[in-house]
Amino acid sequence: MLLVGDARQHEAVETGRPYQQLEETGMQTAELDEIVRQKEQALKEAVELLARGDVRSAIENLDQRVHEVVKPEERLSAMARSSRS
C-alpha cells in the first residue's frame, strides 16, 4: 500500500491523526525535499521559508509581489497583460 501525506500539513477530518500515528509506529517513509513546482526564484524562496516555518519572512517576500488593482476594468486589463508575459 502506498500512502501519500504530510503530517505537518494534512490533518484528518475526523478525530485522530492516522498518518502521523503510522509514522510514529515505524511506517517506512520517504521525504521529498526538492521544490519543483515554483520556477521563479522569488516564489521558490517563499516556499522554502514556509517549509522552514518562517511564515513572517515568507509573507514579506510574497507581499512585495502582490499588487491590488481596485477598479474591475483595470483589474481585467492588468490580468490580460500579465497572462501574455
15 within 8 A of 24, measured Cβ to Cβ: no
User: pLDDT tens digit string along 17-69?
Assistant: 777 788 889 988 888 888 888 988 989 999 999 989 999 999 999 888 888 89
Q: What pTM did the predictor assign?
A: 0.56
User: pLDDT tens digit string along 8-20?
Assistant: 665 666 666 777 7
E strands present in the chain: none
**Spatial distance between the Cα atoms of 44 and 50, rounded to a whole number of angstroms:** 10
Please report the pLDDT score of residue 60 as a whole number. Answer: 92
**Spatial distance between the Cα atoms of 26 and 81, rounded to a whole number of angstroms:** 51
